[in-house]
Amino acid sequence: MEIEHSETLGLGKEYVGQVLKNTFFKLNPRQMVRNPVMMVVEIGTVVTLWFTFQAGNSATRNYDLLVTGILFITLLFATFAEAYAEARGRAQADSLRKMKSNTRAKVITSGRLYEWKDSSLLAKGDRVLVEAGDTIPGDGVVLEGVGSVDESAITGESAPVIKAHGDSVTGGTLLQSDEFVVEITVNPGESFLDRMIQLVEGAKRLKTPNEIALSALLGVLTLIFVLVVVTLYPTARYYGPHATNVTTLVALLVCLIPTTIGALLSAIGIAGMSRVAKVSVIAKSGRAVEAAGDIDTIILDKTGTITVGNRMATEFLPVPGVKLTDLATASLLSSLADSTPEGRSIVELAQKTLQLNNLPFADGDPVPFSAHTRMSGIDLADGRQIRKGAVDAILKLVRNHQGELQKFAEDVARQGATPLAVSVDHRALGVIGLHDVVKSGLKKRFKEFRLIGHSDGHGDWR
């Protein structure tokens, strides 16, 4: 989802006003008291402002006004940094809300009749019709039908999952084939996406142990410097009435206390969680972000993290007696109408194998993938029926080379790939190997991790 960005703040224009408003709202002493360091600066600003109006001559008034202005800018810097960091977190939560509200559901009224409704209005017990290509509008259970669901948005696993009667489904996932009826099992505000939003919004409220310890240290240092500066005033007055003044002592106090750290302390924690969220990582608390700095071992989920996330065709394995070109041709014809990433990769591999510059015309009727048959293909005009699909489904269809087909499938599976069998007129041709391809540059990144002392849980990528 794209958010229109402001040239000044890097946020959506709708958030700029909120940031500026919260910048001044956080000057409220009830808000500022949570940050002892900046509370001292605010009190000092009020004191110097009072002396500005009480000044007896223009030179003293201008000096007091200058100090007051500098202190006020320091306060605005602190409140703006925190307001901006909080706005980044809200922007991420709002993006998830828009994703949720943009999903439309076909709520069944009677029989096969349905009405359109926003997914945010779905209630527990509603029955919705989900057809091929639809996004599942909410968490629920399949009541009727069977279909192939792409759950990569939730789990990162590229391989589609077959869902049938009694299986649970998650809102935001995509139905790739067939259709089914889903009964919604959660009320508004209780779905998986809602819990994600709550996690993003609630993360910034928790302080880390180091942040708590640092806040205590800053408070103690501030108290010490306040006592030091307060004792300077009577000492200076002892040597003469004009040895110093309150405005100068306030400026000295602000210079002594750790103002910058105190101003940015809360913003740093929020910004840390916002930063990791930009790379699709949700931190449950600032403590989790802080602990990440001590990580020396990284264990990664392979699919979608180390790999591209979509299975890609990498090899054709014909059974004995079948030419490689025959298997590639059959695979190409059966995949021309397949719009999935796997189908497109089969077409590309077949083009490369057959050395074709242009795609051939397939005169026939495409057979879309079905979760019932677990196959797809094409019925050609000359009477041939080409099918590709799950190995066990093709084994029930063919009458020859069943042993070889099973062996090829096992060999491909042992390599961590997914085998896809191909047949023509109940005759087995071979197997297509679908691998989850490693992302470009990942080997270099793992090497960099090891150079800084990290180890990973996937030695296969060395």
Which residues are catalytically annotated? 301
Euclidean distance between CA atoms 7 and 212, whole angstroms = 35
Asked if residue 114 lies in contact with residue 214, where contact means CB atoms within 8 angstroms, the answer is: no
Between the alpha carbon of residue 282 and those of residues 88, 95, 173, 226, 364, the distances in Å are 13, 14, 19, 40, 48
- Collapsing DSSP to helix, strand or coil, 118 comes out as strand
Strands (E), 293-445: 297-298, 307-318, 364-370, 375-380, 385-389, 418-424, 427-438
Burial (CB count <10 Å: 0-12, 13-18, 19+), residue 319: buried
Q: What letter does residue 305 receive in the DSSP assignment? A: I
Q: Which amino acid, residue 413?
A: A
Asked if residue 289 lies in contact with residue 276, where contact means CB atoms within 8 angstroms, the answer is: yes
Of 177, 188, 209, 395, which is closest to residue 294 (Cα–Cα)? 209
